[in-house]
Structure formats: structure tokens, C-alpha cells
Amino acid sequence: MKKEYWNKPTMGLWERLYIFEVIRGLCITGGVFFGNMWKWITFRKGALTAYYPEEIRSDYSPNNRGRHILTQRPNGEVQCVSCNMCATVCPAYCIEIQSTANFEDPFHPKAPDRFEIDYSRCIFCGFCVEACPEDAIRMSKDVPNLPGFDRTKMWAPQDLLMNWQPQRNPAKVYPSAQTSTQEVHP
Amino acid sequence: MIQDLLVYVVFMGYAIGVMLGIATLFTWVERKQSAIMADRIGANRAYIRIPFTNIKLVWMGLFHGIADGAKMLLKENFTPKTYDRFCFNLAPWLAAVPVLVVFAVIPFGGTIVPGDLIPALHDFFGSRSYTMQVANLDAGILVIMAISGIGILGTMLAGWSSNNKFSLLGAARAASQMISYEVSMGLAIICLVVTYGTLDLNQMVQWQSGTLFGFLPAWGIIVQPLGFILFLTAAIAENKRVPFDLPECESELVAGYFTEYSAMKMGLFMLSEFIEIVVVSALLVTLFLGGYNLPYMNDTGFVFPGGSTLAMSHLAVVVTQVVTFLVKVVLVGCFQIQIRWSLPRFRYDQLMRFGWKFLLPFAAVNLVVTACVRWLTL
Ligand code: SF4
Ligand code: SF4
């Protein structure tokens, strides 16, 4: 016995003849084609997709987790205290931190010497931002503009993370001079 | 004698150039057209950098064809340990050559008199005239059927000699599909032969330059609309492209009959697919769309329905015909690509049912009706 399917299509004679429905489908795709073609010919963009690295989409969500920012203290020092929490929580193991001691500053004796993120491995999960006790790492809305042919060039060094000047400020404000001096050394 | 040789060498060069050129163009058109249809941008990354500068020529991705060709030529030619090396190497040629040969009998222009065309050559050529066609055969349409039937041998050999189950399955599908659709295609062509009363493609085109009821151009598509649809369907099925791409459907059979092929051998299969688009377009144009002639046009100029005529010089006629043919071929090819990117693939039983229970009866009815009409009007 032939199995009856619950979602058996119900087709009338018109659909069964197939050819007319084919012509209708061709008209739809043809309409889209000529519509888009007209846009291209009149020097507008007839596509929904973007030329990715050259053209950055403007409609990223305000909550988009994009490239990382290492925040700075008012004096320009990096806020990170090199606690390694972000590197520990990172599921992609893509944060590399090398610490250095700074005995001049009793409040922040430890600071990163090298802080690098491998963007060829980062999955933009945002765990590093969650984990950081110092609010030292944040993610801006903009995507890292790092496509390239060489994966060694996809490492973002500390300099870049501190200074790549996001086009839009991240949602949270930077800690003001006041709040940052409030922390007390035990 | 030497004049004939020269002319035909030129024709052959032109035919091969047109086929390969348009086939390469179609690889680009296919990418771009499908992209534009789907609101995408399409292939645009291959570029040629002008040496010593930083200027990159992209030209809307036109260079992707070159990149493809270079990639296929330079890749490692990996062959499996087949038990039939001879057949394995023969198969791509058997698939590609018949497609190329078919174009030989398709007329890509009307009669040409080289002596009139270029006055300087008048002494050399005298008043010899040639039809613009590589092989001027009386039974051209039969030759097309015969030779295009060979193409399936390449597909089957490829599937069989690869010693791979996917390939074999693809080859079996290809074979059964070809047989099913060749029948309807043959019947559609017989209808045409009955209508035109000739097997010669050139005479078919000349027949189509007349008018129907005094004002309609007597194109095959108007005389035989059902035949056109049947032939188009069968031709796409022969070409193994999307609604009928069961032999190579990626989702089930990896790549079907050419799963085991790599580098340029695989490239030959791909290229023959694109050349086949050109050949099928040329065939459709010749059989159904008035061939190399514009409506109301013949070898001497235009004869409009009202009875007014517009005589044209020989040069103008030749140029118009050649250009018309190329434009028509490209447009019909684009239409095929449109079909390819619009329709979903058939299931295998649907394919067989469509071939035997839908196309074949329609083709038979079409033939009977055509024969009756022809008999009554003769
Ligand atoms: S976003 Fe996730 S993957 Fe990327 S660096 Fe932070 S924790 Fe690691
Ligand atoms: S960024 Fe934050 S979590 Fe990571 S090492 Fe620096 S202070 Fe610790």
C-alpha cells in the first residue's frame, strides 16, 4: 500500500501541469534579476550582501560583540592588572598575556607586558569581558577589520588593542578619574 | 580547392572560438546572474594586478574564469587505482568531443561570397559562395542526434571506470535519464522535420525567414510552441543541469559520475557542460528562433509584412547575421541559466515520470497533430 503522508501537497490541475507554475517561478526570479540589474545599471547597489572587508555594514546591533578594547587609566596606562582571568576563561585559548612588574605604582604592581589576541581563533563569545574584574577589556560594536592572507597578521597586539580608536564608543563609559582613584590597596 | 580549404579553416576557427569563448563567458554569467537573482554580489575577488603597481583590475569578476582554468590546469591530477585506466582517461574526451563536433553542422550565418565581401580577394575567390557552417550536411539534424548521443558514453564510461559507487550510481542515472529524454527530443525534432520538410539546418533557417499569415515571422517557436518547450526540456535534461542534475547531484552523490576526476579531466567535464549550454542554445536558435536571421530578414535584406523591402549590401547582411546569431545564442544561454537557478531538482521517480508519462505523450500528440496539419495543408 502506498504510504500517505500527513503533509501531502494538495495540487490542483494547474499545479500538476507544472509548466505554468514553472513559468510563474521564472517570472519571479526574472523580476528579481531585472530589478537588481536596474539598480546596478543606475549605479546603486542591487544586493543585500556587503563587500565584506571593503564595506562595513552600518546596521550592526548596538550589542554586537566586536573587537576588543583594552581600557586605559587617565594617565594612559593600561588598566589590565594581568590577572589572567580572561585567558583562563577564554574557550578558544586565544589570549596570550605576559606580565611585568611595575614597583613605581603601588596600586598596580602587575601589568601586562604583552597582551595579544589571536583573531583567527577568537569566537567573540565575550567571556573575557565578563571575567575581567578590572573592567579592563571590553568589546566594541565594530568588527575587527583583520581579514588577510596571513594568519600571523591576525594577532592583535597590545598597542593595537589599546589604541585602535573605535569608530563608536562602547556602550559603557570609561571610568572617570574619580572612580579609578577610589580603589584602595588593602 | 585551396580557397575552400582556407574558408573552412576560418570557419572552424570561428566555430571553436565562439564555442569556447561563449562557454567561458557563461561561467561568469552563471556566477553573476545567479548572484543578482539572489540579491547577492557574486564572484568579485579574482584580480589581475598591473605589474609594479598596486592597481588591481577586478572587472566585475571576469577573471574568475581565468583563475578557474589556471587552477584546473595546475592542480595535481590525482587518479584512483581504477581497474580500467584506458576507459578512465578516455571518458572526459568522449564527453567533451561530441559536444564540440555538434556545433560543426550548425549554421552561424547565411551565405557568404568572399569575393564580394572583400574586393581585393575577388580574383582569388571568384564567385564562390559558402554557407557559414563548418560542415554543410544534408542530414544535419540527424547528425546532431547521432553525435550528441555519443556524449552519454563518456558519462557512462567515467562512472564505470572510476570504480566508485557514487560514480556508478551517477552514471546509471545519467544513462537512464538520457534514454528517457532522447526519445522526447527525437519526437520533437521529427515534428520540426515534418513542419519544415527538410533535414538541412540551413534550409530550416531559410524556411523560418518567411512569414506566417502574412505578418508573423515563421519561427519555429510560433509554428511549434509545444515542440519548443519539449525540446528545451529535453535539451536541459541532456545537459544534466539543475532541474535534471540527478547524475551529479552534490547532495547525494558527491559529484556523481566525475567524483573521482581531478584537475583538467574534471575541468573537461565542466567545460563540456558549459559548451553544451552554448550548443543547446545554438540549436534552439537554429531550430526554433529563426537562426541567424532577424525577423523578416533573409540573405538579401528585409522583406517587411507590408510588402516593402529593404535591400542590404552583402557585407551588412553577413555582419548582421553573425551578430544576430551570437546575440541570440547568448540570450538563450542566459535563459537556460535562469532556469537552472530557479527550479528545484526533481526526485528520481519524478524525473522518470516526467520523462515518460508527461513529455513523451505530449511529444507524440504533438507529432500526430503536426502530421495531420501538414497533411491537410500540403
Ligand atoms: S571573546 Fe571569547 S574567544 Fe574571544 S578573546 Fe574573549 S573569551 Fe576568548
Ligand atoms: S584583561 Fe582583565 S581579566 Fe584579563 S588579565 Fe587583564 S585584568 Fe585580568
Q: Are B63 and B43 within 8 A, CB to CB?
A: no
Q: How deeply is B116 buried, as exposed, middle or buried, from its count of CB atoms within 10 A (0-12, 13-18, 19+)?
A: middle
Q: Is the same domain home to A79 and A157?
A: yes
Atom of ligand 1 nearest to the CA of A93: 8
Distances (CA, A) of B225 to B184, B202, B355, B365: 15, 21, 18, 13
Angstrom distance (rounded) from CA A94 to CA A86? 10
Angstrom distance (rounded) from CA B177 to CA B180? 5
Distances (CA, A) of B33 to B4, B42, B339, B344: 41, 8, 11, 17
Query: Which of A60-64, B122-126, B166-170 is predicted with the least confidence, judged by mean pLDDT?
Result: B122-126
- Distinct helix (H) and strand (E) counts, chain A: 6, 5
One DSSP character per residue, B335-347 reads HHHHHHHHSPPPP
Q: List phi, psi (to 5°) of B133.
A: -170, 135
- Search chain A and give the residue with CA nearest B336: A26
Q: Is the same domain home to A110 and A159?
A: yes
Helix (H) or strand (E) holding B214: none
Angstrom distance (rounded) from CA B121 to CA B119? 5
When divided into structural domains, chain A yields a total of 2
Q: Are strands A155-156 and A110-118 parallel, antiparallel or unpaired?
A: antiparallel
Contact call for A29 and B338, based on CB within 8 A: yes
One DSSP character per residue, B307-330 reads S-EEE--HHHHHHHHHHHHHHHHH
pLDDT tens profile B284-296: 888 888 878 777 7
pLDDT tens profile A92-132: 998 999 988 888 878 888 888 888 888 888 898 989 999 98
**A107 Cα distance to chain centroid:** 33
- Search chain B and give the residue with CA nearest A26: B342
CA–centroid distance, residue A170 to ligand 2 (Å): 18
pLDDT above 70: residue A186:
no
Nearest to B80 by CA among B174, B159, B171: B159
Residue type at position B236: I
Instruction: Please report which confidence band the pLDDT of residue A185 belongs to, taking 50, 70 and 90 as the band edges.
Output: very low
Range of the domain at A132: 68-172
Q: Is A134 in the pocket of ligand 2 (CB under 6 A)?
A: yes
User: Which of B229, B341, B354 shows the shortest C-beta gap to A29?
Assistant: B341
Q: Is the same domain home to A38 and A82?
A: no
Q: Is the same domain home to A143 and A72?
A: yes
Q: Is the same domain home to A21 and A98?
A: no
Q: Is the same domain home to A85 and A154?
A: yes
Residue type at position A21: E
pLDDT tens profile B226-280: 888 888 888 888 888 878 887 777 777 777 788 888 888 888 888 888 888 888 8
- When pLDDT is averaged across residues A133-147 and rounded to a whole number, the result is 79
| Residue A143 counted as domain residue | yes
B16's grid cell:
571553436
CA-based end-to-end distance of chain B: 41
Question: Which residues, in sequence order, are bridge partners of residue B216?
Answer: B212
- The sign one gets for the Cα dihedral A19, B255, B150, B99 is positive
Q: List phi, psi (to 5°) of B278.
A: -60, -45
Q: Is the same domain home to A42 and A72?
A: no
pLDDT tens profile B318-366: 888 888 888 988 999 899 888 888 888 888 888 888 888 888 888 899 8
Q: Which residues of A lie inside 8 Å of B (Cβ-Cβ)? A: 18-19, 22, 25-26, 28-30, 32-33, 36-37, 40, 46-49, 51
pTM above 0.80, yes or no: no
pLDDT tens profile A16-43: 777 888 889 889 999 999 998 898 888 8
CATH number, position A137: 3.30.70.3270
Question: Which residues, in sequence order, are bridge partners of residue A95?
Answer: A117
Nearest to B206 by CA among B311, B299, B103: B299
Which parts of chain B fold into alpha helices (H)? Answer: 2-37, 64-74, 85-102, 114-117, 122-125, 140-161, 165-196, 201-208, 220-223, 225-239, 250-253, 263-288, 314-342, 348-353, 360-377
| Residue A111 counted as domain residue | yes
Contact call for A51 and B41, based on CB within 8 A: yes
Q: Residue A179's pLDDT is what?
A: 44
Q: How many interchain CB pairs under 8 A, A with B? A: 43
Q: Is the same domain home to A93 and A167?
A: yes
Nearest to A75 by CA among A143, A174, A152, A154: A174
Q: How many CA atoms lie within 13 A of B313 on its CB side?
A: 6
CA distance B347 to chain A (A): 14
